[in-house]
Structure 1
Amino acid sequence: MCFYGCFEDRRRGGPTPFAEHRIDTGDHPPIAVPLPPNTLPLKLVDTLQNSKESAERQQDLRKSLG
């Protein structure tokens, strides 16, 4: 199998630093835009906020019971 390496899953190492491509979408906005470093998607921010609020309610409940 001399061509086996051609079909390996290369996604494990992340995107390649050697090539960049652009697709002309005309007037349509891009489908996906990379996030700047240290930026969380809004959905994750909401999830984290809900988790924090839930943890705070549990802590308040424990204080009131103890």
Structure 2
Amino acid sequence: MTNQEELWHIYCTSSASLAKEKSVGGSMTTVNHLLFALQLLTALGCGLVAGVFFAFSTFVFTNLAL
């Protein structure tokens, strides 16, 4: 290998390892945590709305039966 090829190989391998380190620890984990929290809040909100609809329909149908 020539000197230029060795430098190119060192440059490529070091930049690839830096890219791996950045993707593991930085903003991607923050985005994943944010999406998890958003999904959890969405699921809880859907359950709450379903409970409100169920309670409303229970009260309405019992009063309509009278």
Give the shorter-chain TM-score range: 0.3 to 0.5
Q: As a proportion of its length, which structure holds more helix?
A: 2
**TM-score (normalizing by structure 1):** 0.46
